[in-house]
């Protein structure tokens, strides 16, 4: 009896499937006006049926549909028999199919219910209880499809990370040579510069599993389970080594511990430190973390043996912005000189440029255009810049003032031996001292550098500007630090101002040349400053 019922059910389902197949096989295809006129001219249309706002056309072997607007009805009537009615056959078939299917499902449901009433089934045991923590966890890796060529504007970072990629590809080569690769890489930079994208590119280049976790997720989502999840994450990564663990916004879980510490976060942080210490040398797992608040991080995370390699990312300069714009515009029809947009977008991050391009394309559609124009970019600049720093909307005159200000700082940093990676229109990247003991002269020289821009404004423009606010606060902060160590007196700040003014007064022409260079290439390195200083 059961076998007979099974055969009936299967036959019934097959019949329904055949009905659906027959319906969809004859489903008409939409055509344009050109094909319609071609069919009409060749007398291939056997019958036409008006169905609402559509016109159904029947040929010997195929059915077509065309929107009736624009069709010359008089010409059609002359050549083809036309019916003004709605074809309900297909709708009727679909209705019958779903009615029968619903009946069949109801029969199966009630049959199953009667069976369960006659033969109750005891509930299955919780299978998750028998699984190991790793088998029950939902921590899963992904294989990244992003490569270095998909990331623009970070050439220096790519070079530094290429060693990590090679290690993940060829760990034996490094092990045989006695080389220990860093356990952790910390990427530091403002939001939107592409920290996550770069980590994905490393995983994509090395073709290794990529474990993504947000630092805040350990504390916010897994309340009371942060330490456990950290153990599971690292265990899973080691099982699938070589692999990459990427922890975004690590400062959320790695904040410095103190009086206001959170017990849950401290427990999670301690587990993270333990796991990184427990990594075997050349285990094949690299931890990449990202933050824009390195100053808030716990010193234990930053010490040697954990995040040994630090990569600082800054906002893209002109050349970088141009490359990024080219990537985002490559699939869009446009009539844009991207150099002009790159020049006008000082201070934009990679993510900001992506938004700018998208908004410009939307503006093109809004005005009914088929090519993205430069005017579309300028029309949405203010919309994209909403909430950004004022530096992003500098006029040409303000850019000259800012370039002069930054050029003076670069000149002073070079002369007073304050190391810097680069100085741009909108930020400076001074090298922090790695040693714990700092001399009085080192700190005073740094104060002079912070005061250099202010002094240059008075010397060259005979004016003071609000762009000096942050540097003046940094100078006062350093001074207070030195006062706490009884290194200087309260009049020190005035003395340093006089000293830097005396130096810059003789170097005004050098400042102006550096300012021109900064306006042109949007960044100054120590080699650029040396070149200008050493000119005859």
Q: Using alpha carbons only, how large is the chain's radius of gyration in Å? A: 35
Nearest partner of 218 among 192, 244, 254, 191, judged by Cα = 254
For residues 302 and 433, membership in a common domain is answered with no
For residues 219 and 298, membership in a common domain is answered with yes
- 38-88, pLDDT tens digit by residue? 788 878 888 888 776 677 888 877 788 877 655 676 777 777 787 765 445
Tokens coding 311: 């990569």
- Are β-strands 209-214 and 82-83 bridged in parallel, bridged antiparallel, or unpaired? unpaired
Question: What is the rounded CA–CA span in Å between residue 327 and residue 337?
Answer: 14
pLDDT of amino acid 499: 92
Q: Flag whether 122 is in a domain.
A: no
Which residue in this structure is represented by tokens 């002359």? Answer: 78
Question: What is the rounded CA–CA span in Å between residue 165 and residue 184?
Answer: 13
CATH code of the domain containing 334: 1.10.8.60
Question: What is the rounded CA–CA span in Å between residue 215 and residue 221?
Answer: 10
For residues 367 and 425, membership in a common domain is answered with no
Q: Which has the higher per-residue pLDDT, 6 or 292?
A: 292
Q: Flag whether 125 is in a domain.
A: no
For residues 270 and 336, membership in a common domain is answered with no
pLDDT of amino acid 387: 44
Residue 187 bridge partners (DSSP)? 290, 311
CATH code of the domain containing 169: 3.40.50.300
pLDDT of amino acid 529: 92
Tokens coding 406: 């930054």
Non-local CB neighbours of 408 within 8 Å, separated by 6+ positions: 452, 453, 455, 456, 504, 511
CATH code of the domain containing 20: 3.30.720.210
- 198-219, pLDDT tens digit by residue? 888 888 888 888 888 877 776 6
Q: Flag whether 35 is in a domain.
A: yes
Helix and strand numbers (H, E) in the chain are: 22, 16
Q: Flag whether 115 is in a domain.
A: no
Helix (H, G, I), strand (E, B) or coil at 337: coil
Last residue of a domain, one of 256, 285, 312: 312
Which residue in this structure is represented by tokens 């080389």? Answer: 179
Instruction: Tell me the pLDDT band of 451, cut-offs 50, 70 and 90.
Output: very high
Q: Flag whether 245 is in a domain.
A: yes
Q: With the CA atoms of 170, 171, 174 and 180 taken in that order, what torsion angle do they form, in degrees rounded to the nearest 10?
A: 140
For residues 353 and 407, membership in a common domain is answered with no
Q: Is the dihedral of CA 85, 86, 87, 89 positive or negative?
A: negative
- 105-125, pLDDT tens digit by residue? 666 665 555 555 544 444 444
For residues 342 and 467, membership in a common domain is answered with no
Q: Which has the higher per-residue pLDDT, 213 or 404?
A: 404
Nearest partner of 319 among 459, 432, 438, 422, judged by Cα = 422
Last residue of a domain, one of 90, 123, 151: 90
- 152-163, pLDDT tens digit by residue? 777 778 888 888
Q: Flag whether 106 is in a domain.
A: no
Q: Which has the higher per-residue pLDDT, 420 or 181?
A: 420
- Are β-strands 523-524 and 420-424 bridged in parallel, bridged antiparallel, or unpaired? antiparallel
- 407-445, pLDDT tens digit by residue? 999 999 999 999 888 888 888 878 765 556 788 898 999
Tokens coding 528: 């650029």
For residues 359 and 467, membership in a common domain is answered with no
DSSP 151-175: --S-HHHHHHHHHHHHHHH-HHHHH
For residues 367 and 413, membership in a common domain is answered with no
Q: Running DSSP on this structure, what letter comes out for residue 5? A: H
How far is CA 485 from each of CA 412, 450, 481, 482, 489, rounded to the nearest angstrom? 25, 20, 7, 5, 11
Residue 67 bridge partners (DSSP)? 54
pLDDT of amino acid 121: 44
Parent domain of 406: 396-533
For residues 167 and 302, membership in a common domain is answered with yes
Burial class (CB in 10 A: 0-12, 13-18, 19+), 491: exposed
For residues 377 and 401, membership in a common domain is answered with no
- Are β-strands 428-430 and 420-424 bridged in parallel, bridged antiparallel, or unpaired? antiparallel
Mean pLDDT, to the nearest integer, of 497-522? 91
Structural domain count, the chain: 4
Q: Is the pLDDT of residue 493 over 60?
A: yes
Question: What is the rounded CA–CA span in Å between residue 244 and residue 450?
Answer: 40
Q: Flag whether 7 is in a domain.
A: yes
Q: Are 468 and 456 in contact (CB under 8 A)?
A: no
Last residue of a domain, one of 70, 90, 110: 90
Q: Are 346 and 426 in contact (CB under 8 A)?
A: yes
| Average pLDDT score, the chain | 78
Q: Is the pLDDT of residue 518 over 50?
A: yes
Q: Flag whether 447 is in a domain.
A: yes
For residues 169 and 281, membership in a common domain is answered with yes
Non-local CB neighbours of 121 within 8 Å, separated by 6+ positions: none
Q: Are 298 and 254 in contact (CB under 8 A)?
A: yes
Question: What is the rounded CA–CA span in Å between residue 211 and residue 183?
Answer: 15
For residues 198 and 250, membership in a common domain is answered with yes
Non-local CB neighbours of 82 within 8 Å, separated by 6+ positions: 47, 48, 49, 50, 76
Q: Please state the pTM of the whole predicted model.
A: 0.55
Beta strands in 203-260 (DSSP E): 209-214, 243-248
């Amino acid at each position: 009896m059961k076998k007979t019922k099974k055969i009936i059910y299967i036959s019934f389902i097959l019949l329904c499937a055949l009905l659906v197949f027959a319906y969809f096989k004859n489903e008409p295809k939409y055509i344009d006006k050109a094909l319609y006129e071609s069919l009409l001219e060749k007398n291939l249309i056997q019958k036409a049926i008006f169905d609402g706002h559509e016109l159904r056309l029947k040929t010997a072997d195929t059915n077509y549909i065309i929107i009736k607007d624009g069709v010359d009805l008089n010409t059609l009537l002359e050549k083809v028999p036309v019916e003004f009615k709605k074809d309900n056959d297909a709708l009727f078939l679909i209705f019958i199919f779903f009615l029968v299917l619903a009946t069949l499902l109801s029969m199966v449901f009630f049959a199953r219910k009667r069976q369960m009433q006659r033969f109750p089934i005891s509930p299955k045991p919780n299978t998750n209880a028998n699984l190991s923590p790793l088998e029950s966890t939902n921590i899963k890796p992904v294989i990244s499809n992003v490569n270095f060529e998909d990331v623009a504007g970070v050439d220096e970072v790519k070079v530094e990370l290429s060693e990590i990629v090679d290690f993940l590809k060829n760990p034996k080569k490094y092990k045989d040579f006695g080389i220990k690769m860093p356990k952790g890489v910390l990427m530091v930079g403002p939001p939107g510069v592409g920290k996550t994208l770069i980590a994905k590119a490393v995983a994509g280049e090395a073709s290794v599993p990529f474990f993504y976790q947000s630092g805040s997720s350990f504390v916010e989502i897994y309340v009371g389970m942060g330490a456990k999840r950290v153990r599971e994450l690292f265990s899973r990564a080691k099982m699938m080594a070589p692999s990459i663990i990427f922890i975004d916004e690590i400062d959320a879980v790695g904040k410095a511990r103190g009086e206001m510490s959170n017990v849950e976060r401290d427990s999670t942080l301690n587990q993270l430190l333990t796991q990184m210490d427990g990594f075997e040398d050349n285990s094949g797992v690299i931890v990449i973390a990202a933050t824009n608040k390195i100053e808030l991080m716990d010193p234990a995370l930053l010490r040697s043996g954990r995040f040994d390699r630090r990569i600082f990312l800054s906002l893209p300069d002109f050349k970088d912005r141009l490359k990024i714009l080219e990537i985002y515009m490559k699939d869009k029809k446009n009539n844009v000189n991207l150099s002009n947009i790159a020049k006008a977008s000082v201070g934009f991050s990679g993510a900001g440029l992506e938004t700018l391009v998208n908004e410009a394309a939307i503006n093109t559609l809004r005005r009914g255009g088929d090519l993205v124009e430069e005017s579309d970019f300028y029309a949405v600049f203010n919309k994209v810049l909403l909430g950004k720093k004022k530096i992003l909307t500098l006029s040409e005159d303000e850019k000259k003032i800012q370039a002069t200000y930054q050029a003076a700082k670069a000149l002073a940093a070079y002369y007073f031996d304050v190391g810097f990676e680069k100085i741009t229109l909108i930020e400076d990247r001074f090298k922090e001292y790695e040693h714990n003991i700092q001399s009085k002269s080192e700190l005073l020289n740094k104060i002079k550098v912070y005061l250099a821009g202010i002094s240059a404004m008075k010397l060259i423009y005979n004016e003071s500007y609000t762009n000096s606010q942050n540097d003046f606060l940094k100078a006062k902060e350093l001074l207070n630090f030195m006062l706490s160590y009884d290194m200087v007196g309260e009049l020190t700040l005035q003395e340093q101002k006089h000293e830097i003014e005396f130096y810059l007064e003789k170097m005004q022409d050098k400042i102006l040349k550096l300012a021109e260079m900064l306006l042109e290439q949007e960044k100054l390195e120590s080699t650029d400053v040396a070149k200008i200083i050493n000119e005859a």
